Amino acid sequence: MHFASDNSGPVHPKVMEALTRANDGYAMGYGNDPLSQDVANRIRTLFEAPDAAVYLVPTGTVANTLALAILCQPFQTIFCSEKAHIHEDECNAPEFYTGGAKLTLVRPGDLMTPDTLRAAIEGEGNRGVHGPKRGPVSITNVTEMGNVYTLGEMTALCAVAQDYGLPVHFDGARFAQACVALGCSPAEMSWKIGVDVAVFGGTKNGCMGVEAVVIFDPAKAEEFEYRRKRAGHLFSKHRYLAAQMDAYLADDLWRDLARDANASAARLRAGLEDLGLEIVNDTQANMIFFRAPMKAHKAAKAAGAAYHYMEPDNLPDEQQVMARLVCDWSCSQAMIDDLLNVLRGAL
Amino acid sequence: MHFASDNSGPVHPKVMEALTRANDGYAMGYGNDPLSQDVANRIRTLFEAPDAAVYLVPTGTVANTLALAILCQPFQTIFCSEKAHIHEDECNAPEFYTGGAKLTLVRPGDLMTPDTLRAAIEGEGNRGVHGPKRGPVSITNVTEMGNVYTLGEMTALCAVAQDYGLPVHFDGARFAQACVALGCSPAEMSWKIGVDVAVFGGTKNGCMGVEAVVIFDPAKAEEFEYRRKRAGHLFSKHRYLAAQMDAYLADDLWRDLARDANASAARLRAGLEDLGLEIVNDTQANMIFFRAPMKAHKAAKAAGAAYHYMEPDNLPDEQQVMARLVCDWSCSQAMIDDLLNVLRGAL
Amino acid sequence: MHFASDNSGPVHPKVMEALTRANDGYAMGYGNDPLSQDVANRIRTLFEAPDAAVYLVPTGTVANTLALAILCQPFQTIFCSEKAHIHEDECNAPEFYTGGAKLTLVRPGDLMTPDTLRAAIEGEGNRGVHGPKRGPVSITNVTEMGNVYTLGEMTALCAVAQDYGLPVHFDGARFAQACVALGCSPAEMSWKIGVDVAVFGGTKNGCMGVEAVVIFDPAKAEEFEYRRKRAGHLFSKHRYLAAQMDAYLADDLWRDLARDANASAARLRAGLEDLGLEIVNDTQANMIFFRAPMKAHKAAKAAGAAYHYMEPDNLPDEQQVMARLVCDWSCSQAMIDDLLNVLRGAL
Amino acid sequence: MHFASDNSGPVHPKVMEALTRANDGYAMGYGNDPLSQDVANRIRTLFEAPDAAVYLVPTGTVANTLALAILCQPFQTIFCSEKAHIHEDECNAPEFYTGGAKLTLVRPGDLMTPDTLRAAIEGEGNRGVHGPKRGPVSITNVTEMGNVYTLGEMTALCAVAQDYGLPVHFDGARFAQACVALGCSPAEMSWKIGVDVAVFGGTKNGCMGVEAVVIFDPAKAEEFEYRRKRAGHLFSKHRYLAAQMDAYLADDLWRDLARDANASAARLRAGLEDLGLEIVNDTQANMIFFRAPMKAHKAAKAAGAAYHYMEPDNLPDEQQVMARLVCDWSCSQAMIDDLLNVLRGAL
């Protein structure tokens, strides 16, 4: 019963096979091997962006923050949700990679709206050099709270950014899960609506550790390359990043794995609702936030279920406590049934 | 005939097997899995340093620069050889990770001596706050030019650092190759002679992409952890870094692979000497710098040999040109013979 | 009718005289002159802190941010009011000087309370390395909104910081005005209640451009000195910073000027209340935030009064609009009368 | 007998008068006062550069490093003489302000030549992203060793930079002294030969603490303004920076003071030559490097002369030791005579 995170599951067998396949003989380092070039081209094709610059890096944190670094000057501020991963879970990495830019939190809540985003932008950049200059807007989809912006909502946020001449960064650690939930193409979810740099995440969807950064303005490519090297994120044995992406792209594996993850979450959600439990978020993706009495969480934990509570866990048995369940591609029906059974027994 | 770099060869089969073995079911992320803990303990044992803090990162650049970041303030300067990798080949990564420290180059040449190091230290730190404060000494073994410091030489350099109260960083991208060449233990090549932080490299010796940073003063551990996360180098699926190191440590695979690499280089060197070619460095490790007439390099290249020349390659046929040959664990006798034959034919 | 800022008034004549007096013959640079040493000693005496390290810098921004830089690691977060000058008006200077630390805003409002501060601290530092580590607490008195923390309130805030082992920075751009309003000594408003580094501001109180940074733990002195030089804030002709402070300290000029500024504000406030206008803040210091109908502000502006409105100034005549009035030492009774007369006429 | 530095002398009376004159009534802060605007315009006129952006800052270190920050990316390297002030005497300020750029030292010696500069540039930027990208060339005139590049020499250095598409920074801490020595105009010594940003120094030539940064491409202006504020170098009471420059510009005071300083040095040099002492540099500006037996330096010091020796001062009496003498505008014939007499007596 492993619902703690979509990074605690195993690597998909096809990704492992691709790694083994790539492990044959010699290959030039630092991305100068044929497979690395091929994978970049296929991502360009997938995004219908023949001129895009495409780079592979090993973690979501560096994918996001290198992307921000080429969009943001040190004296600017980045606009993002107050729940954004770049604010909450990257230990000042955006500040580090940008050389000291600020994050302006769009409030309240997980999902930005054109109004809350506009209010945040209006609140900065009106004090001349005394405050930071307005910088990029960062949008996450699927969000940290498991919500999915519709294409219309993303488009509206990009339009606000455009009103102010600000570039848009898309944190796509769960790009695939959002794309599948929306039934759209990668291009429709990125450059067609005004995204400047998109992260196409693999790590949370069956890969070992690889994210593609897709930069739609190739004039930014050289800066990215220097900044990546300077950060120690240019892999010498780059073919093993490429191999993961090779499998991930082949036959749209990325879509299949995301579809499986989302479907598992949908089944789990339906089961929780049947138990009369409150669902907090409204996503069609792979994360569920729900509330249950503490005693139910305790029973689940005792039975070996792994997931995070949002409150200190020394609360009274009857108190409703929010928790997060995440499904990845490897989540089985048996795991879902087991968890629902344990919770049912405890309620 | 692949002699371009020890990062262009394949991953050793035992490392691939360990990755597959680790890919079983669920594991907590970010290093909180049992394998990651186990590997750290085994590295402590290997270094005879039960209190050391041990961390895994994916590249040599970040291993070195995070190590320097916890040893060096932004207003200090790092002393290193003018040929050091941290100066020549890391695109300002030390400056980035330290927040703007300087590198003071110890001159001339690849190998520092107590005298040249002392002169460099004396040349800094005597202008009060007008110049940078003296910071760490960084020693590389095997050096960038393929030389190996003896234990006595390393000890003497550490003693100079100690005279000035400066910490010592050991760039061990080829730690194994040096250790085998010297016939010593990891402890003898690190804390026993005064090294404060050592990098125990795996990437250039059969791994896919993993380096261990061994910090002998555990009081520095917390800072390292925050800085690693902030840099986007804390892997969520950390077990796949650990798995590589698991295989690398088992039955001293690291020694076997380094011994093979060094032995291949020794055979190749003997063959070059038999051809009457000048050997530039005097290493017992896995890199050879030698001179041959341009026509010999051209013939080798035409025959498919891959290695780097140190000069522009549009030189006259008879001109002596320096080149670098690197052997890794996978270098075969056939490859060596082939190269020697091609060169012999061209001379 | 100049009420725009306490940095738009002239330098006090005694400060100008001290500059002229100091302009005699030769003096060693960089603070190695007798006057600079003497002034530092007198500040130590004033603060009853014989071991404190004392440094002069030319602006409040650098005084605050160098102070924070020696208290805060790049992977930490600084706790401050959401209205704090370091957040609102220093263009990412804290992020720059700390090397990328974050600011965690204590909400809501201008004045922190032990509860809101504690809640902010609890909200950070509980996610391990995923979020920033808890760093210093920054307290401003007089606040940006012209409020004055009582000694009891400051003590309570420092106690919260102490509960978490966090250092305290005191932004004292208006240290004198607060000190006079509270009727306490500098020591009582700083180290005696737990402040680690205090800024003793001169620029907003009759000096030309000088702030003293008072560091109560002398072990931090060397780091400050290097960081100051590295920032280009070590004046070569340092005696002219010292001369300003010389006059400022002599016969407690700093107290006299602050007392005059506060008294002017008190008279102005009384006059505004007589006119039936709403006073927004409750300070006894030198800033007044009040509301008046737009037509009154327009009339004042037309008559030559200089002060800032907090809203766009194209509002309807009858709309109540908040504005800020600041008095410095040079504010005359005539100026106050003139402004009150204009406002009275327009209401 | 004060020859230690051109920053240990007094401020010129006309500068003090201008400060007093500016100290009248109220003025908008942060450079929004009429005098600040007027001074910027006059500097544009002086440089025959009507579109240049002109900013005042208080120290040479910040003038140079903010200038470099707008010319240099963090992943680039700056080319400068191994004796350059930005390398030797600014405590990593260039690294700090650029966010981690490197300095590549042009060797050997104080004066760069087109050949040594070209060799340094060729030595960098040929390793792709593994080394830093080539960044600005920084030229100092008068140099740290008191030499003066001719206009032809400066032009040739700028031409090398232009060959590689690199911008040029001019460290003009002693801009006036060089300009007078060369008998040229500020425009001839800057944009007319290819300088992108020039520092027009006042502090070492009779001002209290002010340098003008002259940016010939106004597109860089906004970035400079944000970076200046972020560094705490935007003075709130900006009129007092402007006032110094007001006096400095009036009736070409800057030329008169530089001419006086250079003339004093010429007389001093002639006297030293008469004594048979070796002059090391060949400048026509205000600094002399010469050698004398240690006993002569000791005698001078005992007689109250202040200047720097380049060697440890515990050397044998007869040993020749290099020393530096600096004249500023206030240097009198009596001071020169006294020093020469003391030295003569000791030889």
Q: Contact at 8 Å (CB) between B220 and B53? A: yes
The two tokens of residue A183 are: 């039934």
Q: Which of D129, D225, D233 to mutate to test the interface with A (most CBs of A within 10 A)?
A: D129
Helix (H, G, I), strand (E, B) or coil at D174: coil
Q: Contact at 8 Å (CB) between D316 and D294? A: yes
D-chain residues near C237 (CB < 8 A) = 7-8, 11, 203, 208-209
Chain segment B80-136, per-residue pLDDT in tens = 999 999 999 999 999 999 999 999 999 999 999 999 999 999 999 888 999 999 999
List the single residue in A16, A27, A237 with the smallest CB-CB distance to B203. A237
pLDDT at residue D313 in the model: 63
D-chain residues near A229 (CB < 8 A) = 75, 129-130
Residue A321 β-bridge partners: A292
Instruction: State which residue of chain D sits closest to B94, comparing Cα positions.
Output: D100
Order of strands across the sheet with B278-279?
Answer: B278-279, B287-293, B320-326, B308-309
D95–B95: do the CB atoms touch at under 8 Å?
yes
The pLDDT of residue C283 is above 80? no
- Rounded to the nearest angstrom, the minimum Cα separation between D301 and chain A is 47
Q: For residue D298, what are the CA distances in angstroms to A43, A120, B137, D275, D310? A: 74, 67, 37, 17, 14
The two tokens of residue D15 are: 């500068």
Residue B289 β-bridge partners: B324
A-chain residues near B27 (CB < 8 A) = 8
Residue C158 β-bridge partners: none
A-chain residues near C76 (CB < 8 A) = 92
List the single residue in B77, B92, B132 with the smallest CB-CB distance to D101. B92
pLDDT at residue B313 in the model: 63
D77–B96: do the CB atoms touch at under 8 Å?
no
First to last CA, chain D: 18
A226–D100: do the CB atoms touch at under 8 Å?
no
Ranges of residues in chain D with a pLDDT under 50 are none
B-chain residues near D101 (CB < 8 A) = 92, 95
The pLDDT of residue C41 is above 70? yes
What is d(CA B178, CA B285) in angstroms, rounded to the nearest whole number? Answer: 6
B-chain residues near D92 (CB < 8 A) = 74-77, 100-102, 132
A-chain residues near D132 (CB < 8 A) = 226
Chain B residues touching chain C at CB-CB below 8 Å: 30, 73-75, 99-100, 129-130, 132-133, 223, 225-230, 234
Chain segment D308-336, per-residue pLDDT in tens = 988 776 789 999 999 999 999 999 999 99
- Rounded to the nearest angstrom, the minimum Cα separation between D261 and chain B is 24
The CB density around residue B282, as the number of other CB atoms within 10 Å, is: 12
Mean pLDDT value across residues B151-165: 98
Q: Which of D91, D106, D124 to mutate to test the interface with B (most CBs of B within 10 A)?
A: D91
Instruction: State which residue of chain A sits closest to B227, comparing Cα positions.
Output: A91
How many B-D residue pairs are in contact by the CB < 8 A criterion? Answer: 60
C-chain residues near D230 (CB < 8 A) = 90-93, 96
C11–D61: do the CB atoms touch at under 8 Å?
no
The angle subtended at Cα A109 by Cα A107 and Cα A113, nearest 5°, is 70
C8–D2: do the CB atoms touch at under 8 Å?
no
Mean pLDDT value across residues C185-206: 98
Neighbours of chain C (3+ CB pairs under 8 A): A, B, D
C-chain residues near A73 (CB < 8 A) = none
Q: For residue C40, what are the CA distances in angstroms to B228, C171, C246, D339? A: 40, 19, 9, 34
pLDDT at residue A43 in the model: 98
DSSP state of C306: B
What is d(CA A204, CA D25) in angstroms, rounded to the nearest whole number? Answer: 64
Instruction: State which residue of chain B sits closest to A31, comparing Cα positions.
Output: B8
- Rounded to the nearest angstrom, the minimum Cα separation between B290 and chain D is 21
pLDDT at residue D310 in the model: 82
Q: What is the largest CA-CA distance in chain A?
A: 61
Return the sign of the alpha-carbon dihedral for residues B123, B126, B129, B135: positive
- Rounded to the nearest angstrom, the minimum Cα separation between B137 and chain C is 20
Q: Contact at 8 Å (CB) between D4 and D306? A: yes
Half-sphere exposure for D30 (CA within 13 Å, toward CB): 16
List the single residue in D77, D100, D127 with the smallest CB-CB distance to B100. D100
B-chain residues near C99 (CB < 8 A) = 74, 99-100
Mean pLDDT value across residues A255-261: 98
User: What domains sit in chain C, N to C, each tagged with a CATH number?
Assistant: 13-253 (3.40.640.10), 259-346 (3.90.1150.10)
B-chain residues near D99 (CB < 8 A) = 96, 100
What is d(CA D325, CA D288) in angstroms, rounded to the nearest whole number? Answer: 5
Q: Which of A59, A68, A92, A134 to mutate to test the interface with C (most CBs of C within 10 A)?
A: A92
What is d(CA D155, CA A342) in angstroms, rounded to the nearest whole number? Answer: 82
List the single residue in C74, C129, C227 with the smallest CB-CB distance to B225. C129
List the single residue in D99, D129, D225 with the smallest CB-CB distance to A234. D129
Q: For residue B46, what are the CA distances in angstroms to B43, B158, B168, B185? A: 5, 21, 20, 8
List the single residue in D77, D95, D127 with the smallest CB-CB distance to B102. D95
Neighbours of chain A (3+ CB pairs under 8 A): B, C, D
Residue C168 β-bridge partners: C137
The CB density around residue D25, as the number of other CB atoms within 10 Å, is: 10
C-chain residues near B225 (CB < 8 A) = 129
Q: What is the mean pLDDT of chain C?
A: 96
The pLDDT of residue B7 is above 80? yes
Half-sphere exposure for D186 (CA within 13 Å, toward CB): 26
Closest CA to C249 of C53, C108, C45, C86: C45
pLDDT at residue D311 in the model: 72
- Rounded to the nearest angstrom, the minimum Cα separation between B132 and chain C is 8
Chain segment B250-304, per-residue pLDDT in tens = 999 999 999 999 999 999 999 999 999 999 998 789 999 999 999 999 999 999 9
D23–C10: do the CB atoms touch at under 8 Å?
yes
Residue C291's Cβ-count burial label (10 Å; 0-12, 13-18, 19+) is: middle
- Rounded to the nearest angstrom, the minimum Cα separation between D3 and chain C is 10
A235-249, A265-279, B301-315, C71-85: least confidently modelled range:
B301-315
Q: For residue A340, what are the CA distances in angstroms to A262, A293, A317, A325, D217? A: 17, 14, 18, 12, 67
pLDDT at residue A272 in the model: 97
B95–D100: do the CB atoms touch at under 8 Å?
yes
A99–C102: do the CB atoms touch at under 8 Å?
no
Share of chain B above pLDDT 70, in %: 99
First to last CA, chain B: 18
Q: Which of B30, B59, B85, B335 to mutate to test the interface with A (most CBs of A within 10 A)?
A: B59
pLDDT at residue B283 in the model: 77
Chain segment A164-217, per-residue pLDDT in tens = 999 999 999 999 999 999 999 999 999 999 999 999 999 999 999 999 999 999
Q: Contact at 8 Å (CB) between D268 and D325? A: yes
Helix (H, G, I), strand (E, B) or coil at B82: coil
Q: What is the mean pLDDT of chain A?
A: 96
Closest CA to D249 of D47, D46, D7: D46
Which pLDDT band holds residue A311 (cuts at 50, 70, 90)? confident
Mutual angle of helices C13-22 and D13-22, in 10-degree steps: 170
Instruction: State which residue of chain C sits closest to D97, comparing Cα positions.
Output: C231
DSSP state of C206: T
C-chain residues near A103 (CB < 8 A) = 102
List the single residue in B20, B28, B235 with the smallest CB-CB distance to A59. B235
* Reported ipTM: 0.97
What is d(CA B224, CA C75) in angstroms, rounded to the nearest whole number? Answer: 10
